[in-house]
């Protein structure tokens, strides 16, 4: 039994009302549009409703704890993959499902690092990592450079609550209710310009007050902007004997 048969029947009725045969080009286009619009709309409603219930009884924090805090001996990767393919529908439904399940908040964005790079932020420094890429019997040495934060706990923590409140106050962030949750939307160019201007004025603008205090103490012991040689090289050399 085709559960979408009533929708197809309605689409055929529309064709009859406008006097266009379903087999004609225009009639076929109208039939397809009516059928798929209603069908996808219903799927989205059902998926988002199921997702709202799932998030209520099985929040992101619980899923994260299950996958990270218990020893699964590699099965956690399999479980994560299963969660990633939990829907057989197209992206129209799987994207809302994925976003809803993850419940990704504003504090999960990595855009902040792009803006930091634009001003060559001083509290992060370049560190070189070396490794190997192994493909079958072939090995190739690789080296890449990555900007990292100081090793001291809490030295670089972002004040997400203040930053979000600031964006809302300045009209750069919009919040929309979606099911039992909410969707926060920020226009990329506006966010980039706003944060860039503030970082040029105050390089520590994004950080918590606690992080600023730690950085002030670190700046008394190390040259600022920080460098790998200043922050880690001596420690690594000492530990290596």
Q: What is the 3-state secondary structure (H, E, C) of 143-161?
A: EEEEEECCCCCCCCCECHH
- Predicted confidence band at 23 (pLDDT cuts at 50, 70, 90)? confident
pLDDT of 6 strictly over 80 = yes
Contact (Cβ atoms closer than 8 angstroms) between residue 158 and residue 107: yes
Average pLDDT, the chain: 82
State the pLDDT at residue 241.
46
Tell me what the mean pLDDT of segment 52-59 comes to. Answer: 74
Contact (Cβ atoms closer than 8 angstroms) between residue 35 and residue 23: no
Contact (Cβ atoms closer than 8 angstroms) between residue 160 and residue 210: no
Q: Where are the domains of the chain?
A: 5-104, 107-123+151-239
State the pLDDT at residue 162.
95
Contact (Cβ atoms closer than 8 angstroms) between residue 203 and residue 121: yes
Higher model confidence: residue 133 or residue 58? 133
- Predicted confidence band at 235 (pLDDT cuts at 50, 70, 90)? low
State the pLDDT at residue 85.
57
pLDDT, tens only, 160-194: 999 999 999 999 999 888 766 677 889 889 999 99
pLDDT, tens only, 26-49: 888 998 999 888 988 887 788 777
157-163-165-171 Cα dihedral, nearest 10 degrees: -170
Please state the φ and ψ torsions of residue 138, each to the nearest 5 degrees: -100, 135
| Alpha helix stretches (DSSP H) within the chain | 5-18, 25-57, 60-68, 75-84, 91-102, 111-118, 160-169, 188-201, 209-221, 228, 234-239
Please state the φ and ψ torsions of residue 96, each to the nearest 5 degrees: -60, -35
Classified as helix, coil or strand, 89 is coil
pLDDT of 224 strictly over 90 = yes
Opening angle at CA 109, ends 107 and 112, nearest 5: 100
223-to-123, 208, 226, 231 alpha-carbon distances in Å = 10, 21, 6, 9
**Residue matched to tokens 């600022």:** 224
174, β-bridge pairs: 185
């Amino acid at each position: 039994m085709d559960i979408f048969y009533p929708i197809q029947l309605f689409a055929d009725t529309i064709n009859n009302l406008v006097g266009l045969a379903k087999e004609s080009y225009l009639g076929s286009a109208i039939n397809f549009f009516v059928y798929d619009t209603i069908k996808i709309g219903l799927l989205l409603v059902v998926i988002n409703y199921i997702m709202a219930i799932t998030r209520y009884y099985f929040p992101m924090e619980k899923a994260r704890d299950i996958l990270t805090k218990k020893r699964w001996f590699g099965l956690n990767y399999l479980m994560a993959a299963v969660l990633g393919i939990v829907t057989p529908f197209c992206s129209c439904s799987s994207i809302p499902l994925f976003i809803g399940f993850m419940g990704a908040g504003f504090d999960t964005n990595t855009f902040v690092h792009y803006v930091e790079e634009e001003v060559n932020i001083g509290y992060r420094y370049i560190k070189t990592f070396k490794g190997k890429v192994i493909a079958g019997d072939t090995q190739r040495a690789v080296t890449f450079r990555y900007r990292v934060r100081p090793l001291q706990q809490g030295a670089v923590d972002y004040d997400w609550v203040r930053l979000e409140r600031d964006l809302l106050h300045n009209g750069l962030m919009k919040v929309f209710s979606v099911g039992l949750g909410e969707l926060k939307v920020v226009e990329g160019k506006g966010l980039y310009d706003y944060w860039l201007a503030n970082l040029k004025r105050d390089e520590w603008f994004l950080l918590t007050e606690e992080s600023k205090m730690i950085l002030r103490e670190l700046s008394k012991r190390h040259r600022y902007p920080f460098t790998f040689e200043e922050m880690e090289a001596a420690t690594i050399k000492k530990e290596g004997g």
